[in-house]
Amino acid sequence: MLCRIALPLFFVLLCPPLVVAAPQAPLAPEGNTGRYELSTASAGNAMVVTANPLASLAARDMLWAGGSAIDAAIAAQAVLGLVEPQSSGFGGGAFIVYHDGKKTLSIDGRETAPASAQPNRFLGSNGKPLPFYTAVNSGLGVGVPGALAALEESHRRYGKLPWKSLFAPAIRHAREGFPVSPRLHMLIARDRLLAKKTHARDYFLAPDGSAWPAGHLLKNPAYAAALEKIANSGSKEFYRGKLMQGMVKSLTIEGADLSEEDWKNYQPKVAPALCQPYRQYSVCSAPPPSGGLAVLQTLAILDGLGRENDEALRLHQLTEAERLSFADRQRYSADPALVPVPVAALLQKDYVASRRALIGERSMGTASAGTPPGLSSPWGQDGQLLENGTTQIVIADANGHWLSMTSSIEDAFGSRLLIDGMLLNNQLTDFSFLPAESGRPLANRVQPGKRPRSAMSPVIVLDENGRPILALGSPGGSRIIGYVLRALVASLDEGMSPGEVVQLPHVLSRNGATEIDSDLAIGLRESLEARGHTLEPGDMNSGLAIIRRQRGRLEGAADPRREGMATGF
């Protein structure tokens, strides 16, 4: 543990992955780069878990200085945009769930489509959907970024430290350089699109076209300059000032159609978090268009099934409940500002019971979407699963404020468009490429100003007294919902510690085959197959971050599938 605790700043030089897998083609959500040393921590006052030690240390410094959970999250995100640029940054969006000691809020910083966007945006001249990476590479996938606006709005409500001070760690690392991590090196090396974008190529690749090696000190003066402007002037520089004007101009050259008015009109959305009872707890997540609704509906289905001692039976019930909620998600979930999402109806007790009744002793294989009573749905069934990478931050501060934030630029390295040292997202490819199915419109079709559906599901769990006891979330594209559910059930029903939970082999369903980690025990595989499950093994690259309050202390853990760090005091 010397290289992860005593010398965290240099972990990337001293601690390579324990196991390395290096496929050569881009894989779903960033791809697998092996397992890293498990990072856990226990503390009495405050706790941070992020996907990179430099970000965790920046956040912890803010908490040490008397900052709030949101202060720490801003510092962490600014650093992550530099050291983990493939996953998130101010060129992307985020969902934040925040408990302020009394109430739990959702701050929606999801990207928006331009006013010019139309439902046929991702159709080719033949009327068929564009190949995914054709859409990514076209510039049409870039939406107006929302992460910075959401963080600034959160800081306006809950910040304690000066806005300007929160960017100092990231500015310092950008100017002085940071060591390229083993994971970042491998992801750069296997990405075929970076070399096609001039600024990204010049930054991420050495003069001979190879990926910078792990440990190479990489500097990003353009990012430092942009952060200094944001630190001094706030998000108005990003959405209304010269930064915005330069970005719009550069994006237009690359084929994007975002206008200055699209950027100026962006607003984060603040609302009560979506909360649902589960056992003796209250589980809170972000409302649509996030994946929180599917998480809560799955838990509601499970809540009536009791607690089984048989692990294989528990996994059977979990994945069957996921099939049912995922089918409903694919039909109904979208941006509620433009589509009437039936949240209450999908969580209504009798409807949930009717869905639960469909779970039998054998797997149903594929579930059909239901129709809650009194609801006449005009929507078609969406089969698209093209959602990708992301990062997760969880923080508990000394004053009882807790934060769970899932942040993303969508695909690994997003659009590959590097502007002012920041990678821009390709989040609009989270929309349904087809506008309709069997003559029925899809709820998640492209529309002007719309926010695309997301699987991001940041969660905070409250006890019977309304106090937070658990915060978690994960990257992983459309598998996020399953990753989060597996972690919640293991934490709440099985009493596992954060360190145990992040090491669990994943088992989930996106309403198709039952997807399992390749290291799932043979006995569990055989039991699931005996119940009629078709198993699809693979390396599932989650990135869970978890904080638990247990007997007056805080416990944190970072998923060893990524390079994260838990730290507290």
Residue positions annotated with a catalytic role? 390
Phi, psi of 223 (to 5 degrees): -65, -45
Q: Which two tokens stand for residue 301?
A: 């289905």
Question: In this structure, what DSSP letter does residue 255 have?
Answer: T
N-term to C-term CA, the chain: 18
CB 49 within 8 A of CB 561: no
CA-wise closest residue to 491 among 477, 479, 503, 509: 503
Q: Which two tokens stand for residue 222?
A: 């353009």
Tally of CB atoms within 10 A around 406: 34
Q: β-pairing, 93-99 with 402-410? A: antiparallel
CB 83 within 8 A of CB 54: yes
Tally of CB atoms within 10 A around 427: 31
Tally of CB atoms within 10 A around 493: 15
In single-letter form, the type of residue at position 131 comes to: P
Q: Which two tokens stand for residue 293?
A: 């609704």
Question: In this structure, what DSSP letter does residue 123 have?
Answer: B
Looking up tokens 């959305």 gives 269
Q: β-pairing, 514-517 with 535-538? A: parallel
CB 145 within 8 A of CB 94: no
**Sequence-distant (≥ 6) Cβ neighbours of residue 522 within 8 angstroms:** none
CB 12 within 8 A of CB 181: yes
Q: At what angle do helices 349-356 and 292-303 cross, to 10 degrees?
A: 70
**Burial of 360 per CB tally in 10 Å (0-12, 13-18, 19+):** exposed
CB 97 within 8 A of CB 155: no
| Cα–Cα dist 36/284, whole Å | 30
| Cα–Cα dist 296/303, whole Å | 10
CB 173 within 8 A of CB 223: no
CA-wise closest residue to 431 among 51, 179, 112: 112
Torsion over CA: 58, 60, 61, 67 (sign): positive
| CA quadruple 496, 499, 500, 506: dihedral, nearest 10 | 110
Looking up tokens 């709440």 gives 492
**Sequence-distant (≥ 6) Cβ neighbours of residue 530 within 8 angstroms:** none
In single-letter form, the type of residue at position 12 comes to: V
